[in-house]
Structure 1
Amino acid sequence: MPSPALRGPAIALGLAFPAAAAFAAAGMPAGALLGATAAVAAAALSGLGPVVPDFLRNLAFAIIGVSLGAGISSDILDDIARWPVSLLGLALTILLTMAATGRLLTRGFGVAPDTAALSASPGALSYAVALAAQGRGDLRAVVALQSVRLLLVTLCLPPAIAALAGAAPPGPLAAGGAEALGPSPALALMLAGVACGWLLDRAGAPAAYLLAGLAVSGLAHALGWVHGALPGPAIFCGFVVTGAVIGARFTRIARPDLMRLAAAGIAATGVSAAISAAGALCVAAATGLSFPVVWVAFAPGGVEGMAAIGLALGYDPAFVATHHIFRIVAVIALLPLALRAAGR
């Protein structure tokens, strides 16, 4: 029997890796991420207490960021020049999502206005929880509603996107012959991502480790210092641990709270997903970009989880990551205003 300190991580990782391997072997879109999320969430809801240590979580997020950065080239500025329209569309989508889901929660499910404002944010879960912990709204309700959103988006979006695209694109372990980095540059990028992530986290940056990994790797690839992606097993481990982190969030939610708020969480997530899909459809029509790619970039999931899904589905990593980081920054700016409006 593992010691009490090791029991939670042993449960989380012992369930996440086999489930991820099974989902991936079955050909599920983003199978490693989905399998780990589903298995660990089930364990959490069963009261088994899965835990992912902070250092593993941060390393996994840095790995996802480094993997995303491998898709950046010296042509990145030319690509960004095409994105203002989609970023504006995303901003409007965020505003509509917060207004519509907040109203749904208050009018349809009797959630208090300040709790609804924090629960309606399509991202920035940690920030919303921190505000709730300071006395704004019902902390348990905010955690439950936000966690339902993360779980549903992570589990349901990849199959939906794959169905829309007609077939699941190849995952990172079958990346069509992409050159793999050698052990030394791969390790150097991961360590640099973790170190820079620590600095950004200390500075209060959102999604610090993913952002740092993306910046370090993107800069190295854009300048031609390195060429190639992280080895497949490293990316697989990053997906598995990220999925375990998402699933383990349910450990902190009491089952009565979850059962009481499940219907509200499902309804709010459905509205958020529908609005993000509508916004993505409009942007795709206006810009000629692929609708599935834009929807992944607009979807109201966690930054790390959505970036991992985009990576697993083979979509433009810089596009997806940039839009999700923009979404989190926008939500952080908007939440205090939403709380002020809810208090009137």
Structure 2
Amino acid sequence: MPLRKRSEAMALDLRSYLPTLMAGIAGAALAALAGIPAGALIGSTLAVAGVSALGLKVGLPNGLRDLAFATIGVSLGSSVTEDVFGQIGTWGISLSILILSLIVTVLTGRLLLTRIFGLDAQTATLASSPGTMSNAVAIAAEGTGDATAVMFLQLMRLLALVILVPPLAVAFETSEAASGLNQTVMGLPTLFGLLAAALLLGMIGSRLGLPAASLLSGMVVSSAAHAGGIAQGATPAWVIFGAFALTGAVLGARMSRVTLGQIRRYALAGLSTVATALIVSLIFALIAVELTTLSFSQIWIAYAPGGVEAMAAIGLSLGLDPAYVAVHHFARIFALVFIVPIALKL
């Protein structure tokens, strides 16, 4: 690309980055001050989506996106100690129910979209995948199903659940869920080292096609460092706030891809899919509550059919046990990697 065109493209990108960052930070701050559950994430998402609706170009560089996801992953892994590995056995029932809920969510969403809304089976399967949106969209872009429909329905599900899940989880909760929070604060040199390692691994994972690679690498690096005694303490609150604001800005920017034609064509299908997925996750969360001693909000955040990055951020912001959330999102990512291709072949 000639130097002049390259500089013009860079200037255009900067003109979209600045409004996105300003709107995201302002929306995150206002929602947090208002006391909204997961306010930084929700406020940033809605603010950037609103700026986009006004006709301004929005977006963030991939580097900032990956940094935000890696930070959330590091924060989730910061509570993993040697004691946590002993608890994984007690979470076996919860993990088993989670995998069953993922299967039922994909199959019921697929049935709804094919029988009632007339979508083909492959498009319906990818649109019903409850998480790892980037993976579902990538599969559709390669020629499996209708990529436009998959993108819209996944974005609609993601935005609806980011807004609905936190207040519902708080409203349904009757007991204190934050039992495993790390009270000490991690030093900045340690944090920067973990983030650098997470970003490097995330880059490798992305090239290998791993969904949510930066988030997953952050969990892996932080969990290993804390369990091995190399790192101690939780991520500073101001760093987590920044990660939530950036993550919300990324989610809000994704909504700019939605067109009025897509809304008219797929809105009812999207709302029906979200409602069905929510009901399925609620049912299985209630079953898990009866069979375990865990709190409802903690289980439901792990089961909620949103994007992995968004649900992980919500669980962290609500003060739920980060180790529990991290382990379940590990399982959720890998389960969907196997469930979706099998469902596509049915």
Aligned equivalent of 1:11: 19
Aligned equivalent of 1:120: 128
Aligned equivalent of 1:214: 219
Write the mapping of 1:123-138 to structure 2, written as runs, cut at 5 A: 123-138=131-146
**Superimposed CA distance per residue, residues 101-153 of structure 1 (whole angstroms, 9 cap, x where no aligned partner):** 11111222222222112111112212211221122221111100011011111
Alignment partners' CA distance in 2, 1:293 and 1:200: 28
Q: What is the Cα deviation at residue 256 of structure 1?
A: 1.3
Q: What is the Cα deviation at residue 30 of structure 1?
A: 0.8
Write the mapping of 1:137-152 to structure 2, written as runs, cut at 5 A: 137-152=145-160
In the alignment, residue 252 of structure 2 is paired with which amino acid? G
Deviates more, 1:207-216 or 1:109-118: 109-118
Aligned equivalent of 1:238: 243
Q: Please, what TM-score do these two structures have when normalized by structure 2? A: 0.92
Alignment partners' CA distance in 2, 1:275 and 1:246: 24
Aligned equivalent of 1:332: 337
2:269 to 244, 264, 272: 264
Task: Return 5+ residue gaps in structure 2 as ranges.
Answer: 1-9
Task: Return 5+ residue gaps in structure 1 as ranges.
Answer: none
The alignment yields a C-alpha RMSD, in angstroms, of 2.0
Alignment partners' CA distance in 2, 1:30 and 1:45: 23
Preserved contact between residue 36 and residue 240 of structure 1 (Cα < 8 Å):
yes
Among the aligned pairs, what percent are the same residue? 43
Q: What is the Cα deviation at residue 284 of structure 1?
A: 1.3
In the alignment, residue 59 of structure 1 is paired with which amino acid? L
Alignment partners' CA distance in 2, 1:131 and 1:226: 37
Q: What is the Cα deviation at residue 158 of structure 1?
A: 0.3
**Superimposed CA distance per residue, residues 293-314 of structure 1 (whole angstroms, 9 cap, x where no aligned partner):** 1000001111111111111111
Q: What is the Cα deviation at residue 178 of structure 1?
A: 2.4
Aligned equivalent of 1:153: 161
Alignment partners' CA distance in 2, 1:72 and 1:19: 31
Q: What is the Cα deviation at residue 182 of structure 1?
A: 2.3
Preserved contact between residue 303 and residue 325 of structure 1 (Cα < 8 Å):
no
Aligned equivalent of 2:229: 224
Deviates more, 1:323-332 or 1:290-299: 323-332
Please state whether the residue corresponding to 1:153 is helix, strand or coil.
helix
Instruction: Say whether 1:37 aligns with 2:37.
Output: no
Alignment partners' CA distance in 1, 2:92 and 2:233: 28
Alignment partners' CA distance in 2, 1:70 and 1:250: 31
In the alignment, residue 308 of structure 1 is paired with which amino acid? A
Preserved contact between residue 123 and residue 144 of structure 2 (Cα < 8 Å):
yes
**Superimposed CA distance per residue, residues 69-117 of structure 1 (whole angstroms, 9 cap, x where no aligned partner):** 1111120211111122111111111111111111111222222222112
Deviates more, 1:102-111 or 1:264-273: 102-111
Write the mapping of 1:165-244 to structure 2, written as runs, cut at 5 A: 165-166=173-174, 178-244=183-249
Aligned equivalent of 1:74: 82
Q: How many residues align?
A: 336
Alignment partners' CA distance in 2, 1:186 and 1:130: 31
Deviates more, 1:65-74 or 1:217-226: 217-226
Aligned equivalent of 1:163: 171
Q: Please, what TM-score do these two structures have when normalized by structure 1? A: 0.92
**Superimposed CA distance per residue, residues 34-62 of structure 1 (whole angstroms, 9 cap, x where no aligned partner):** 10111112233443221011000000011
In the alignment, residue 285 of structure 1 is paired with which amino acid? E
1:308 to 309, 313, 324: 313
In the alignment, residue 76 of structure 1 is paired with which amino acid? V
Preserved contact between residue 276 and residue 298 of structure 1 (Cα < 8 Å):
yes
Q: What is the Cα deviation at residue 201 of structure 1?
A: 2.2
Please state whether the residue corresponding to 2:116 is helix, strand or coil.
helix
1:95 to 85, 95, 103: 103
Q: What is the Cα deviation at residue 209 of structure 1?
A: 1.0
Instruction: Say whether 1:283 aligns with 2:288.
Output: yes
